[in-house]
């Protein structure tokens, strides 16, 4: 999200918002790269279906490439999806909470679950990739793809992007709580505008409608 900080005079809180926004811009770029993988993925699936259905041809390499691309797409977009609050949430109880409590819960969730969990997967995932590279791991199928370490490397990579997303969400929620404590309405507005996890479904729907109107204008 494009945010202007010129009118903010909040010292380190402003710096935290800027860092959070820079991380979001980077992860948006990575997420778009992942999204573009959908095009070759669709093309390979269509070609594979047609070749098997009409020409009685089958390719293990093509079938494996399908799940390789799907995995890469998912892992590259994982962090950006979290920033945009696009992952599944249990909202039955949470939606009755105020934004301050939501922000506190988000911070606790990041500190207790997101950062430790992704950190562990990165740590063990790097060893996973290293061993695959050292033994020159290939597909279990005789005619499958080689260099299995390439797709395995997306596991720690994707978790690394999710870890960065967790840092971004953590920073903007810390700033939101600082703004409430200082009663700084301008800073509070900036932090909340950057934080879809703090909005109600009605607010999120209204923003979507506004964006659609802007795109049509």
pLDDT, tens only, 63-88: 899 999 999 999 999 999 999 888 87
**Tell me: the pLDDT tens digits for 164-187?**
999 999 999 999 998 888 887 888
Q: What is the pTM of this model?
A: 0.86
Measured CA to CA in angstroms, residue 42 lies from 45, 54, 67 at distances of: 5, 18, 11
Does 4 reside within a domain?
A: no
**Tell me: the pLDDT tens digits for 185-216?**
888 777 877 788 887 777 777 777 777 777 77
Cβ(160)–Cβ(118) below 8 Å? yes
For the chain, what is the domain count?
1
Does 6 reside within a domain?
A: no
Q: What domain range includes position 55?
A: 12-216
Does 24 reside within a domain?
A: yes
Q: Which residues contact 185 (CB under 8 A, 6 or more apart)?
A: 179
Does 179 reside within a domain?
A: yes
Rg (CA), the chain: 21
Does 201 reside within a domain?
A: yes
Q: Does residue 8 register a pLDDT over 60?
A: no
What is the rounded average pLDDT for all residues in the chain? 86
Does 191 reside within a domain?
A: yes
- Return the axis-axis angle of helices 185-193 and 12-36, rounded to nearest 10°: 10
Does 102 reside within a domain?
A: yes
Does 165 reside within a domain?
A: yes
């Amino acid at each position: 999200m494009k945010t202007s900080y010129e009118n903010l005079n909040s010292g380190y809180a402003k710096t935290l918002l800027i860092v959070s926004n820079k991380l979001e811009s980077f992860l948006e770029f990575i997420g778009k790269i992942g999204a573009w993988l959908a095009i070759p993925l669709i093309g390979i699936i269509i070609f594979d279906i047609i070749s098997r259905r009409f020409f009685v041809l089958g390719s293990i390499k093509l079938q494996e490439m399908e799940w390789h691309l799907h995995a890469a797409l998912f892992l590259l977009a994982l962090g950006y999806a979290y920033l945009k609050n696009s992952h599944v949430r249990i909202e039955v109880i949470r939606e009755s909470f105020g934004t301050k409590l939501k922000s506190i819960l988000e911070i606790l969730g990041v500190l207790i679950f997101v950062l430790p969990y992704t950190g562990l997967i990165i740590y063990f995932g790097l060893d996973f990739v290293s061993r695959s590279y050292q033994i020159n791991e290939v597909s279990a199928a005789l005619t499958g793809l080689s260099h299995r370490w390439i797709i395995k490397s997306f596991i720690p990579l994707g978790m690394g992007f999710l870890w960065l997303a967790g840092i971004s969400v953590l920073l903007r929620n810390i700033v939101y709580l600082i703004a409430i404590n200082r009663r700084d309405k301008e800073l509070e507005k900036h932090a909340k505008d950057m934080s879809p996890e703090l909005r109600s479904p009605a607010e999120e729907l209204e923003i979507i409608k506004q964006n659609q109107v802007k795109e049509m204008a």
